[in-house]
Amino acid sequence: MLRHLFVAWLLGIALTSSVQSAEPGFHIVDTRADESTSIVMALTQDGGMAVGSGSNSLSSSSHPYRGFTWTPAQGRVDISGQGLGTRAFFSGVSSNGSVISGATWNLTNGTDARATVQRNGLFQWLPLLAGYTTLSGPVRVSGDGLIAVGWCAEMSTPSHYEAFRWTAAGGIRRLGFARTGDLRSEARGISRDGRTIVGMSLNISSGSSVGFEWRSDRGMVALSEGYYASAVSADGSVIVGGATTGAVYWDAQRQAHILPYSQEIVPGATCVSDDGKTIGGALQQQDLDMVEAFIWTEARGIQTVRDYAGLRGVTIPPDWRLSSCEAMSGDARVIGGKVVGPNRERRGYVLAFGPLCAADFNADGGIDGVDVQAFFDAWESGLGVADVNEDGGVDGVDVDVFFHSWESGGCS
């Protein structure tokens, strides 16, 4: 009875929303004539610039790799300059976009690959760790662009990898391995403040992996067995990753939390917001060709990016499937990765979200009384999902915001 009286009272007054609209949009990054695919690998802190690469995975003889930047105003701009090899794969960017990191090489097979950092338009090839002959994997940078991380490889049988940390002042430094007997370690992510490096350490003989965290004051520390770590929040307090059994995040006390999803396999989380409260990754169905990007928040759990975007005013074309979430802006308002088109074409994408559209609360595509019921069930229970103005509390302001959106018939 109280609910119905409250609803009637709210419907009789003029309501205003405190939610500020951001300009949402879904953008596909094009490919060049000799490329078959592109991918976005990194975003600046504000999400205003993306960094990625284009390549031709369909050609065995000619396999170009080109790095690019992308902005809403300029679109794709290929990266070029003195000191860049004939092929390049860019995967990291500083907070303000002034430093870009990646790999560059000249040989078709990539066995001469080296890490590179572009600062103020000039490229610097980084040295290799002693005992290793090539670079393997993405290269990431800290928020200020002064630290680069990745891993070097020795292409023996079996091949050996080792994670590294590089600074202009101190040069390249090996990070070692998380366990005795491990012969592969990969540095996959670095915090914005540069103090925390995360990745994976692997025992070749047993095939067992372990996520790791590295800090200069204590070296490499193993996380959960059987997992890998891929990204870390701005201050290093939250680490995300995964394994075949599910996506995971480690909290500030390094307790592991599995992200549950009832219908599909969750192979891993790959990006995280600055505050650690929003996580992105990929859902993989039994059909290995059906990988779908996801967003996780504590309030709403795991949602496909398509559903998440729809609640925030962005419609993704139905014949384009977001297959990865590789990068996230600091406030989680912008993400990037790879999308698969109707003809199986693979392109990079940048997706900017608007504020939460509270009206379709149950996310069924309609705005009706069922949404009112669902909202109040959550609101009266104090569930985080009822925090529709996203201010960290569940209170009367959320009721105002919900009904303003619901009466308007949606969010615009």
**Can you give the CATH number for the domain in which 320 is found?**
2.120.10.30
Predicted pLDDT at 62: 59
Predicted pLDDT at 12: 35
Predicted pLDDT at 299: 82
Is residue 5 scored above 50 in pLDDT? no
Is residue 7 scored above 60 in pLDDT? no
Residue 133 lies in a domain: yes
Is residue 331 scored above 60 in pLDDT? yes
Give me the mean pLDDT over the 341-368 stretch: 88
- For 128, the token pair is 């290799």
Contacts with 239 (C-beta within 8 Å, 6 or more apart), sequence order: 196, 198, 211, 213, 223, 229, 231, 232, 233, 249, 250, 254
- For 264, the token pair is 């599909």
Residue 18 lies in a domain: no
Enclosing H/E stretch for 175: strand 171-176
192 burial level (CB within 10 Å; 0-12, 13-18, 19+): buried
Q: Dihedrals φ, ψ of 391, to 5°?
A: -105, 5
Predicted pLDDT at 61: 52
Is residue 23 scored above 80 in pLDDT? no
pTM (2 decimals)? Answer: 0.88
Residue 354 lies in a domain: no
Is residue 99 scored above 60 in pLDDT? yes
Cβ pair 204, 210 in contact under 8 A: no
C-alpha distances (whole Å) from 151 to each of 100, 160, 364 are 17, 10, 44
Residue 24 lies in a domain: no
Domain limits for position 182: 41-328
Is residue 19 scored above 90 in pLDDT? no
Predicted pLDDT at 15: 29
Nearest to 175 by CA among 136, 221, 206: 221
Residue 291 lies in a domain: yes
Chain-wide mean pLDDT for the chain? 87
Top pLDDT among 403 and 337 is at 337
Give 375-386 pLDDT, tens digit per residue: 999 899 988 888
Predicted pLDDT at 66: 93
Is residue 341 scored above 90 in pLDDT? yes
Predicted pLDDT at 47: 97
Number of domains forming the structure of the chain: 1
Residue 347 lies in a domain: no
Residue 82 lies in a domain: yes
Give 240-296 pLDDT, tens digit per residue: 999 877 899 999 999 999 887 755 555 689 999 999 999 999 987 655 567 899 999
Is residue 219 scored above 90 in pLDDT? yes
Predicted pLDDT at 411: 63
Top pLDDT among 387 and 234 is at 234
* Residues 157-164: contacts with CB under 8 Å, at least 24 apart: 158/183, 158/204, 159/184, 160/132, 160/184, 161/136, 161/137, 161/185, 161/186, 161/202, 162/129, 162/132, 163/187, 163/197, 163/199, 163/214, 164/129
Give 73-92 pLDDT, tens digit per residue: 999 999 998 889 889 999 99
The residue with tokens 């608007």 is: 354
Predicted pLDDT at 43: 98
Is residue 163 scored above 70 in pLDDT? yes
Predicted pLDDT at 51: 98
Quickly count: other Cβ atoms within 10 Å of residue 157's Cβ: 4
Instruction: Give the lowest-confidence range in 67-71, 96-100, 362-366.
Output: 362-366
Give me the mean pLDDT over the 57-77 stretch: 83
Render the burial of 73-100: b for 16+ CB within 10 Å, e for the rest: eeebeebeeeebbebbbbbbbbbebebb
Task: Using pLDDT thresholds of 50, 70 and 90, give the confidence band for residue 364.
Answer: confident
Could you give the percent of the chain with pLDDT greater than 90? Answer: 63
Residue 53 lies in a domain: yes
Is residue 4 scored above 60 in pLDDT? no
- Nearest 5°: CA angle at 102, between 343 and 239? 85
SS3 352: strand
